[in-house]
C-alpha cells in the first residue's frame, strides 16, 4: 500500500494535482490558489494547504507566502542529464526487490494499465499516454512496498516531466509506446531477471 492509497481528501488533492503536473495538464507557472483548489475539490483550505505543501516538498510546486503557489519549472538540462540515470537505478532496484514475488494479480494490474495505454495510443492522446506510462512504472514502485522509494521516484520524474513527454512524441507511431510497455510486462513475467533489467534500463532514456 502506498502512502496515498487511502481515500483521504488531502491525498486525493495532491495525487490529482501531481498527475496533472507530471502529464502536462498543468504547465510550469500555472497558479494554484487555496480558494480555487478548495472550490474545485470541495475540501477545506487546510487540506488544500497540506496537499500543496506535499507537492512543494517534491519540487513540483513553489509556495509563495500570501500569493498562493505556482507549478515549479523543471530542472535545467544539466540536472536532467543527471536525473535520468538515477531514475533508472531506482526502478531497477525496485524490480530486483519484487521480481521473484510477482503474481498474476500484479500482471492483471499491469494489463489494466496497458489497456488504457493502448486506447490512448490509438487516439494519440499524449496526456493520457503519459498518465498510463506513469501508472505503469509507479505500479512497480508501489509493489516494492517502500513509500520512501515512491517519493524519490516521483520527485525525479517531476523534475524531468517535459523530457518524459517529449520522448514519447519522438515515436513515429504512438503504438510503439504501448508495445514497449507490453514487452516490459512480458519480461517481468519471463522470470529472467537479467533480461528484464536490461530491457527496463534500455527503455528509461
Q: What are phi and psi of 175, to 5 degrees?
A: -65, -20
Report DSSP letters for 93-148, one per residue: HHHHHHGGG--HHHHHHHHHHHHHHHHHHHHT-HHHHHHHHHHHHHHHHHHHT-HH
**Confidence (pTM):** 0.81
Residue 128: closest CA among 172, 177, 186: 177
For 80-93, how does the pLDDT look when each residue is reduced to its tens digit (9 = 90+)? 889 999 999 999 99
Q: What is the pLDDT of residues 39-70, one digit of tens each?
A: 999 999 999 999 999 898 888 899 877 777 99
Give the DSSP H/E element, type plus range, for residue 166: helix 161-169
Tell me whether strands 31-32 and 68-71 are parallel, antiparallel or unpaired. antiparallel
Give percent of the chain with pLDDT exceeding 90: 58
Q: Contact at 8 Å (CB) between 91 and 134?
A: no
| Domain spans, the chain | 9-71, 77-203
- The yes/no answer on whether domain 77-203 falls in CATH 3.40.605.10 is no
Q: What is the pLDDT of residue 165?
A: 66
Level-2 CATH architecture, domain 9-71: Orthogonal Bundle (1.10)
Question: Which cell numbers hold the place of 62?
Answer: 513553489
* Per-residue confidence band for 24, with pLDDT thresholds at 50, 70 and 90: confident
What 3-state DSSP class applies to 86?
helix
Residue 18 has pLDDT above 50, yes or no: yes
Cβ density class 130-147: b for 16+ within 10 Å, e for less: bbbbbbbbbbbbbbbeee
Question: Does residue 102 register a pLDDT over 70?
Answer: yes
Amino acid at each position: 500500500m502506498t502512502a496515498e492509497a487511502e481515500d483521504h481528501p488531502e491525498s486525493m488533492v495532491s495525487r490529482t494535482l501531481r498527475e496533472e503536473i507530471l502529464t502536462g495538464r498543468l504547465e510550469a507557472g500555472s497558479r494554484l490558489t487555496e480558494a480555487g483548489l478548495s472550490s474545485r475539490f470541495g475540501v477545506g483550505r487546510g487540506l488544500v494547504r497540506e496537499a500543496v505543501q506535499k507537492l512543494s516538498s517534491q519540487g513540483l510546486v513553489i509556495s509563495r507566502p500570501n500569493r498562493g503557489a505556482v507549478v515549479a519549472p523543471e530542472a535545467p538540462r544539466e540536472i536532467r542529464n543527471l536525473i535520468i540515470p538515477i531514475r533508472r537505478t531506482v526502478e531497477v532496484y525496485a524490480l530486483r526487490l519484487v521480481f521473484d514475488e510477482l503474481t498474476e494479480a500484479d500482471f492483471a494490474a499491469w494489463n489494466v494499465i496497458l489497456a488504457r495505454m493502448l486506447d490512448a495510443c490509438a487516439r494519440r492522446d499524449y496526456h493520457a499516454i503519459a498518465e498510463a506510462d506513469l501508472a505503469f512504472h509507479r505500479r512497480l514502485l508501489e509493489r516494492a512496498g517502500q513509500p520512501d522509494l515512491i517519493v524519490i521516484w516521483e520527485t525525479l520524474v517531476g523534475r524531468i516531466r517535459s523530457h518524459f513527454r517529449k520522448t514519447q512524441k519522438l515515436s513515429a507511431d504512438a503504438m510503439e509506446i504501448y508495445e514497449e510497455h507490453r514487452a516490459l510486462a512480458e519480461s517481468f513475467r519471463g522470470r529472467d531477471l537479467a533480461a528484464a533489467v536490461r530491457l527496463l534500463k534500455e527503455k528509461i532514456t
